[in-house]
Amino acid sequence: MKQNISEYLNNKITDVYIEPINIKEKFIDFAQRFADTYGACALISGGKDNDCARYDMLGIKPWLTFKSKGRKIEISVNEKKIIITADPFDILKQIFNIFKTKNRFNLPINCGLIGYFAYDLKHLIEDLPETCLDTTRLPDILLFAHLILLIFDKKEQKYFICIPKFQNGKTDYINKIKEEFYRDIEKPIIKKECFAGVKNNLTSGFTKKSYINSIKKIKEYILAGDIYQANMTQRFETDFDGRPYTLFKKLYKKNPAPFFAYINGINHYIISTSPERFIQRDGAKIETRPIKGTKPRKKNKTEDKLMANQLCQSKKDDAELSMIVDLLRNDIGKVCKSASVKVTAHKRLETYDNVFHLVSDIKGELDPKKNSIDLIKAVFPGGSITGCPKIRAMEIIDELEPVRRHIYTGSIGYVSFHDTLDLSIAIRTATICDKKIYFSVGGGIIYDSVPEDEYDETLYKGETFFNILQKNTPAKPNADFVWINGKIEPEKQTFISVTDKGFLYGYGFFETIKAKKGEPLYLKEHIARFKKTWKSLFTKTIPDINWLAIIRQTLKANLLLDKDAAIKIIASEKNLIVSAKKYTSRIANKKKTALELLTYPHSRQTPLADYKTLNYLYYYLAGKWAKKNGADEAIILNPDLSVSETNTANIIAFYNKKAILPKSLHVLPGVTEQIIAKKLKTFGYDIERKKIYIKNLLKADSIILTNSLMEILPVSSINKTKIKYNYELCQALLKADIRS
C-alpha cells in the first residue's frame, strides 16, 4: 500500500520571490559565510570554457529535509517531522506534485531540492546482493528545500535571490527573510581557516596487489561472458580535523571542475569536484555526458600533447566509451519519446588541470507522462561508473569492493519543482564523517585493460587529494583467505587493533557453522542466534549484509566449495570476520565411533555462557585439560555441580523414549541441539529440559553430543566409566530430512 503524505505537507508554494542583488565577493568566498550551517548546499561551476560552468548556486536555511535509508524515510518540514516506511521514489513524486511551481527569470532553478543520491540506492532499484560493509551508515538520499536560494549567473555577472512564497505564509514573511539574510552577509567571514588530514595514516581498502588481483578477476568475468565492462574502485581514508569548507576551497583552487559541490549534513559533509554530468533536464530536453578515458596532464607541452593524442587514439578507451554510450542510450530511452535519443557528440576531448578526459553527449526528449523522479530512477546509478550489463556489473562490484560506496559514484545536484534538474556523477568526491575523511578512485575495466595501468590510473585521478593528504599503503603477504570488514584478504595480512575490546577483554562473540559442498547448514538459525547475541552485547545497528553470499565468497577463496568446511563468523567492537577451514570429523582416522568425556574440576556459572563470546578462555582450557588427560571433551558443571554442557557441545541423555537436555541457568542455546530435539520428537521421544547430575548421566541408556561441526556423535565413557552408546540413532538423526 502506497503511503500518502499530502496531509502532512499541505502548505503549497504559490510563487517564488526573485530579486537581483548586488554582491561584490567571489562566490566561493561568499558561500563560506554559511558553510557551517546545517543544510547549506553550494553547487559551484569551476572552469572558464566549459558550457556546464555558467551558474553557481547556494541553498541555505532548509524548510524541508528529505532523508532516507533503505525504505525508512524521515521528512522534516519546519518544526514538524514524520518518519514513514515506503519507497523513497514514490514519496519524492508526491513531494514534487505538492510543491510544483513555475520557472521564473529563466534561471536553472528557483525552488526545489538540492543534495545527493548515494550509489547504494541501487538496492531499492534492482535486486542485488548486499555483501559490502556499510561502514558510515549515512543516508541513501539527503535532499534540502531551502528558504533562500542564491544564484550567480557567471555569463551575465548577476546575483539573484530566490525565496518561496507559501500558501499559509504571513504577509511580511519575505521581508523578514531578506532582512535576516542581509544582516548575515554583513558579518565578517571567519578568518580561522584550517583543516588537517593525518599525512602518514592514509590507507586504502586494497593493497596494490589485491587491487590488481580484483581487476584480473573482472577480466575473468569478461572472458566468461558475464560482462563487457565493470567499474572498479578503491576507497582511501584517514583522520580529519578542522573545517571541511576550507578543504573544499583548497580543492577548488587546485582543480576547478564544472561540478563542484559542498553539502553540510551536520553529522557528515560531502565535498565533490566532479568533471562529469550525469543527467540534465530542461523541460522536455534530456542530456547525459558520460566520461570514459583518462590521461594525466604533463608540465612539458610536448609531453602534454602526446598524452592527449594517446587518449584520442586509444582503442581501449574508444571501446569503453562506446559501450557506456549504448548503455546510457538505453537507460534514458526508458523515459524518453520513441526515437528521440541521439548521440550528438562522441569522444570529445575535455581538458582539466591534472587530467584529460574523453566525453560523449547523449540527448533525448522526455515522455510527457514521465517526470524528474521517473528519469532519475530509470538511469540510476550512472552506467559510466557501473559497467555493462549494468546489473551483473553491480553484482561483481559488490563482490570485489569491501565497503559500500555511499556517495561515491552516486549523484549530486538539484531537482527543481519546475521541471529542471542537473546531477553530476559523484567522482573526485570525499565524505567527512566522525573525524574521518573518505574518498574513492577507480576506472572502467575491459578485457584489454592492463591491471597495473588501471591501478596507476586510480592514483593520478586521486592526485589532487593525495597531494593534500598523502597516501600510505602497506604491503601485505599472501595467506589463507578470510572475509574481514567487507573484503576478502589473505589471513596473515589481517590485523586486529589492540584497542579493540574483543582483543582486550574478549568483548565479542562468534558463530561456528558447518558447510557441506558450499552450503552452510542451518544458516537461518545461526544468523537468528547471531542477531540475538548482537542485540544483547552491542548497541550499534546489526550489519545489513547477505551472509550466504559472504560465506560462499570465503569458501570459494579458500577452494572449499566442494568440501566439508568449518565457517566461523567473529564479531567484535570494531571487526567483523568470516573464516573458512577444511573440516575433518572428530572421529576421522581414529579407531572409534564415539567420544570419551571427563568432568572438568572447575565449575562455572556466568551470564556470558548464554552466548559464544570471545571470552572463551575457560572453555579452551577445559578442552585442553581433557585432551591432556586422555579424553575428547570436558563436562562443564554449574556451581551446584549439575551438568551444563561440554567445552564445545550440548548434551542429550536418553532414558527409554525420553530425551533429557540438561537445565542450566546460563548455557548456550545450541542451534544443532534444537534441530535434533525436533527430529527426536518425530522419532517418538519426549523432550524434557531439567537439572541432571553426573550420577544421572552414568545411568542413561545412551548420551549424544551435538554442535554445528560434529553435528551428532555418541558418548562412550564418562570419567573412564564406559556407557552404552547408540551410533545407529545418531546416523538416523543425521539422515532425517527435517528442517525447522
pTM: 0.81
Percent of the chain with pLDDT over 70: 95
652 pLDDT exceeds 70?
yes
Does residue 2 belong to any structural domain of this protein? no
Question: Do 295 and 425 fall into the same domain?
Answer: yes
Does residue 230 belong to any structural domain of this protein? yes
Question: Do 509 and 400 fall into the same domain?
Answer: no
Does residue 7 belong to any structural domain of this protein? no
Q: Are 612 and 510 in contact (CB under 8 A)?
A: yes
Supply the mean pLDDT for the chain: 89
pLDDT in the model for residue 593: 86
* Mean pLDDT lowest among 5-9, 123-127, 263-267, 727-731: 5-9
Q: Are 163 and 147 in contact (CB under 8 A)?
A: yes
User: What number is the average pLDDT over the span 184-205?
Assistant: 70
> Residue 478: what are its φ and ψ, rounded to 5°?
-75, 160
Strand 658-662 and strand 686-690: pairing?
parallel
Question: Do 325 and 438 fall into the same domain?
Answer: yes
CA distance 44 to 47: 10
- Higher pLDDT: 675 or 104? It is 675
CA distance 442 to 116: 20
Q: What band does 168 get if pLDDT is binned at 50, 70 and 90? A: confident
Question: Do 669 and 526 fall into the same domain?
Answer: no
Question: Do 571 and 605 fall into the same domain?
Answer: no
Which residue, of 440, 469, 498, is where some domain finishes?
Answer: 469
Percent of the chain with pLDDT over 90: 64
pLDDT in the model for residue 477: 32
Which residue, of 552, 582, 612, is where some domain finishes?
Answer: 582
Question: Do 273 and 372 fall into the same domain?
Answer: yes
**CATH number of the domain bearing residue 207:** 3.60.120.10
Strand 481-484 and strand 487-490: pairing?
antiparallel
Query: How many secondary structure helices (H) and strands (E) does the chain include?
Result: 19, 38
User: What number is the average pLDDT over the span 423-436?
Assistant: 93
CA distance 548 to 541: 19
Provide the number of structural domains found in the chain. Answer: 3
Does residue 417 belong to any structural domain of this protein? yes
Question: Do 60 and 145 fall into the same domain?
Answer: yes
Does residue 494 belong to any structural domain of this protein? yes
Domain hosting 176: range is: 13-469
**Set of cell numbers at residue 649:** 557441545
CA 69 to chain centre: 11
Does residue 287 belong to any structural domain of this protein? yes
- Other Cβ atoms less than 10 A from the Cβ of 94: the count is 18
User: Quick check: is 728 catalytic?
Assistant: no
Measuring CA to CA, how many Å separate 395 from each of 230, 327, 384, 489, 623? Answer: 10, 17, 15, 19, 43
Question: Do 353 and 440 fall into the same domain?
Answer: yes
Active-site residue identified among 67, 69, 122, 276:
276
**CATH number of the domain bearing residue 649:** 3.20.10.10
CA distance 450 to 324: 19
Residue entry with cell 541423555 = 653
> Residue 537: what are its φ and ψ, rounded to 5°?
-95, -35
4 pLDDT exceeds 60?
yes
**CATH number of the domain bearing residue 534:** 3.30.470.10
Amino acid of residue 347: K
CA distance 206 to 297: 26
CA distance 717 to 711: 19
Question: Do 460 and 514 fall into the same domain?
Answer: no
Q: Are 415 and 377 in contact (CB under 8 A)?
A: no
Q: Are 321 and 292 in contact (CB under 8 A)?
A: yes
621 pLDDT exceeds 80?
yes
* Mean pLDDT lowest among 129-133, 507-511, 731-735: 129-133
Residues 6+ apart with CB under 8 A from 296: 307, 354, 355, 356, 460, 463
196 pLDDT exceeds 80?
no
Does residue 588 belong to any structural domain of this protein? no
Q: What band does 470 get if pLDDT is binned at 50, 70 and 90? A: low
In 366-461, beta strands by DSSP E: 387-388, 411-416, 420-425, 429-433, 436-445
Distance between first and last Cα of the chain: 31
pLDDT digits (tens, 9 = 90+) for 688-730: 999 999 999 999 999 999 999 999 999 999 999 999 999 899 9
Q: What band does 475 get if pLDDT is binned at 50, 70 and 90? A: very low
User: Quick check: is 276 catalytic?
Assistant: yes
Question: Do 135 and 181 fall into the same domain?
Answer: yes
Question: Do 452 and 325 fall into the same domain?
Answer: yes
pLDDT digits (tens, 9 = 90+) for 532-548: 999 999 978 888 899 99
Active-site residue identified among 69, 122, 292, 363:
292
Question: Do 93 and 241 fall into the same domain?
Answer: yes
491 pLDDT exceeds 90?
no
Q: What band does 117 get if pLDDT is binned at 50, 70 and 90? A: very high
Measuring CA to CA, how many Å separate 95 from each of 75, 89, 101? Answer: 10, 10, 12
pLDDT digits (tens, 9 = 90+) for 306-324: 998 988 988 888 888 888 8
Which residue, of 536, 556, 582, is where some domain finishes?
Answer: 582
258 pLDDT exceeds 60?
yes
pLDDT in the model for residue 80: 87
